[in-house]
Amino acid sequence: MRLSRPFFQLPLLFDVARLQAEVAALPPQAWVAHPDQVPGNSAARLISAGGAETDAVHGRMAPTPWLEAMPYLKQVLAGFGVVWSRSRLMRLAPGAGVPEHADINYHWHTRVRLHIPVLTWPEVRFHCDGEAVHMGAGEAWVFDNWRRHHVENNADGERIHLVADTTGTAAFWRFVQAAKPPRDQWRKVGWEPSADHPLLTEVNPRSPIMPAAEVQWLLDDLRAELVVAVDGPEARARIGRFGQLLESFALDWRQLCALHGVDGVAAPEFQHLAMAIREAARPLSEGLVMRTNGVSALLVLEKRVLQHLVAEDAAGQREGLS
């Protein structure tokens, strides 16, 4: 989800001591390596598909046993009144970092990531699109993860953040974007043993075939961000042809949906069309990037669109196209 600026700090303050106590009580087996095996990065899963030890983003999300053992942290999440997707505690070892990247996958097209630092140090810096902040313990932040960002832990101690994914309600976004009062007027959210806020979790099934309207929406968004890395007549002509290719693909996909529906019975025909656009896009996409983050247009097409067009069907076809 693209935001109007790199960082938003919410006028909320949480009970740091209680957060730290609940996290410290987790057993060592709660912590697992980063899915991409990034050195010094580990996580404890709090909300996951089926409440299981998985990093999947599809399915019925549910609290894990680790979250159930942390009543205040669960109350913190429930108190926002939003629907949560995959959520974790994310830990950075001393001297470790998160390499610069932009989150371009399909999951992030409509979701944002909330950060609540649990254990941190002044030497920890979060960088996004040329700006850098220190997120203090017990604070709440969201940031534009479509932009390029990275994290540095230059402290001697580990850094642990509560990191939770959501699309957010209208009320949530009004709260995020509203003018902030002075810090001494921020709401302090302490432990309330009698609080009865339900924890809302996402149900995110996979459609066998992505509907035509969603394909059009994703491609229109891609085209709106499309620019040339180095300007020139040939590059401008290529960007025009690339845009026409995307529009032609959307029209042909719509026709296949009209002919076969989206139940996956004709998955091979959809797969064939998706593979054809991938091959046609390769030569046209050279030097074409996203305006906001400089990521290759071809990579965004593959990661945000093509890999999610056709899910695994009843015949056991391979999920995605790569």
Residue 127 sits in a domain of what CATH number? 2.60.120.330
Q: Looking at residue 311, what is its pLDDT?
A: 86
Note whether residue 164 is domain-resident.
yes
Regions of the chain short of the pLDDT cut 70: 312-322
Identify the domain boundary among 204, 239, 267: 204
Tell me, rounded to whole angstroms, the distance of Cα 165 from its chain centroid: 6
Q: What is the pLDDT of residue 312?
A: 61
**What's the pLDDT score for residue 282?**
95
138 occurs within a structural domain: yes
Same domain, 173 and 252: no
Do residues 135 and 235 both lie within one domain? Answer: no
What local confidence, expressed as pLDDT, does residue 298 receive?
96
Q: Please check whether residues 93 and 58 belong to one and the same domain.
A: yes
Sequence-distant (6+) residues with CB within 8 A of 54 are: 45, 48
Whether 317 is covered by a domain: the verdict is no
116 found inside a domain: yes
266 plus 302 within the same structural domain: yes
Residues 97, 70 share a domain: yes
Residues 65, 172: one domain? yes
Q: The domain containing residue 223 runs over which residues?
A: 212-308
Please enumerate in sequence order all residues whose Cβ is within 8 A of that of 137, keeping only pairs 6 or more positions apart, or say none. Answer: 16, 19, 20, 117, 118, 119, 120
Q: Indicate the number of domains in the chain.
A: 2
Return d(Cα 251, Cα 258) in angstroms, integer: 11
pLDDT digits (tens, 9 = 90+) for 213-266: 999 999 999 999 999 999 988 888 999 999 999 999 999 999 999 999 999 999
1 lies in a domain?
no
Same domain membership, residue 221 and residue 198: no
